Amino acid sequence: MYDQTIIVTGAQGNLGGVAMRVLQPIYATVVGTSHHPGADNLKPMDICDQKQVSDLFHRIRPHLVFNFAAISDVTVCEQYAERALATNYQGVCNLANVCRSHGTRLVHVSTDYVFDGERQEYSEDDEPNPLQVYGRTKWMSEIPVLENNGLVIRSSGVIGYAGKQDSKFMRKFINGGPQTMVNNQKKRFMFADDLVVAMTELAQKDCSGIYHVAGSKNLSWFEYASIIADVLEESVLSKIPDRPSLCLMSGVPQTHPTSGAVIQRPEHVSLKMEKAKAVLDNFLLTSPQDAARIMGEQIRRDYELF
Ligand SMILES: NC(=O)c1ccc[n+]([C@@H]2O[C@H](COP(=O)([O-])OP(=O)(O)OC[C@H]3O[C@@H](n4cnc5c(N)ncnc54)[C@H](OP(=O)(O)O)[C@@H]3O)[C@@H](O)[C@H]2O)c1
């Protein structure tokens, strides 16, 4: 147990929700934040509002901040580019400024979307070349963190179960019925719990700069989803009352909601992880099958499927 106070931003999101579960037993005080007023057990804080950020830091005086707040939906970023820039870049500038004045360490997550996928394998020193608004704003988000000696962890296709509020990937399995997963992007999917453990160790070892932390196998969303479905459909998910059985379909790339143009994404990105592996004692690389089993147990408990 670390005798420290930490803030977890974006605690209602996918990764932030997993981080709350993983970090609460590890740190003395964990304060989760959300920009939705009245969110359960979370403190309100919009990272775009410098005063809100500053006020909360003043009250909590955190040693460490794990930032998971972002607009992470690639399509939403294309459609609302200004909002994406305000959140993904300006919001992080606000956090970095306040961290500097409080002497707080900032741990921030970035993404493989900063790369174009042309070279397939990328180390931390390779020059980014994002293809879309999300990647550009996330690349920009790294600047204020690095300028303040913070830690940037780039990851890839992070999958975890954050609880019933979980709105993204796992929601498709829980809802069942026909679900489309794209087959055109290959990446090193990472189990969210493993990522949070790695982030914690890097933070506790006072690492700063950029580290790549991702899974070991290159898969498409459809391939990854098929593994999860094979492990979970019969054993867990089919027991959720009134849920239609899952029918996974391999889909086409997403298009811009108004222009109809295909949103460019890196088709094949493998993050090289030698730098992180050299530092981490615990580089957990849970296989997709084991990740599915662990998430299955979490879903079973949450939905009382006994
Ligand atoms: N998931 C992945 O595969 C992956 C891979 C690599 C890196 N990352 C990075 O990991 C981080 C978390 O991703 P995620 O998948 O957990 O995304 P997520 O589920 O969309 O969570 C992001 C959270 O940030 C909140 N948020 C948005 N604007 C905010 C604001 N102005 N102030 C405070 N909170 C705000 C969102 O709330 P609302 O949704 O209610 O607006 C949401 O709860 C992001 O930085 C993402 O770029 C994710």
For residue 61, the cross-strand partners are none
pLDDT of res. 168:
77
For ligand 1, is residue 10 a contact (CB within 6 Å)?
Answer: yes
Residue closest by Cα to atom 2 of ligand 1: 158
pLDDT of res. 145:
98
- Among candidates 75, 227, 248, which has minimal Cα distance to 159? 227
What residues have CB less than 8 Å from 36, skipping those under 6 apart? 12, 44
Nearest ligand 1 atom, CA 108 = 45
Distance, in Å, from the CA atom of 109 to the CA atom of 125, rounded to the nearest integer, reads 17
pLDDT of res. 247:
94
Residue closest by Cα to atom 21 of ligand 1: 13
Domain harbouring 137, CATH code:
3.40.50.720
Q: Tokens for 5, please give them.
A: 């106070």
Probe ligand 1: pick from 7, 8, 15, max atoms within 8 Å of CB? Answer: 15
Distance, in Å, from the CA atom of 209 to the CA atom of 108, rounded to the nearest integer, reads 10
| Number of independent structural domains in the chain | 1
For ligand 1, is residue 12 a contact (CB within 6 Å)?
Answer: yes
Angstrom distances, CA of residue 83 to CA of 72, 79, 137, 138: 11, 9, 10, 13
pLDDT of res. 296:
95
CA 16 / ligand 1 centre spacing (Å)? 8
Q: Is 274 exposed, middle or buried (0-12, 13-18, 19+ CB in 10 A)?
A: exposed
For residue 159, the cross-strand partners are 191
- Cβ contact 31:62 at 8 Å: yes
Q: Quote the domain boundaries for residue 42.
A: 2-302
pLDDT of res. 257:
77
Nearest ligand 1 atom, CA 134 = 47
Of all residues in the chain, the percent with pLDDT exceeding 70 is 99
pLDDT of res. 254:
74
What are the DSSP E strand ranges found in 133-273?
Answer: 151-155, 158-159, 178-182, 186-188, 190-191, 209-212, 218-220, 247-251, 268-271
Residue 145's identity, in one-letter code, is V
Probe ligand 1: pick from 14, 50, 54, 270, max atoms within 8 Å of CB? Answer: 14
Q: Is 257 exposed, middle or buried (0-12, 13-18, 19+ CB in 10 A)?
A: exposed
Q: Is 149 exposed, middle or buried (0-12, 13-18, 19+ CB in 10 A)?
A: middle
Nearest ligand 1 atom, CA 18 = 16
For ligand 1, is residue 220 a contact (CB within 6 Å)?
Answer: no
How far out from the chain centre does Cα 181 lie? Answer: 18
CA dihedral 270, 275, 277, 279 (to 10 degrees): -160
pLDDT digits (tens, 9 = 90+) for 236-273: 999 999 999 999 998 877 777 788 888 899 999 999 99
Residues of the chain with pLDDT under 50: none
Probe ligand 1: pick from 12, 42, 72, max atoms within 8 Å of CB? Answer: 72
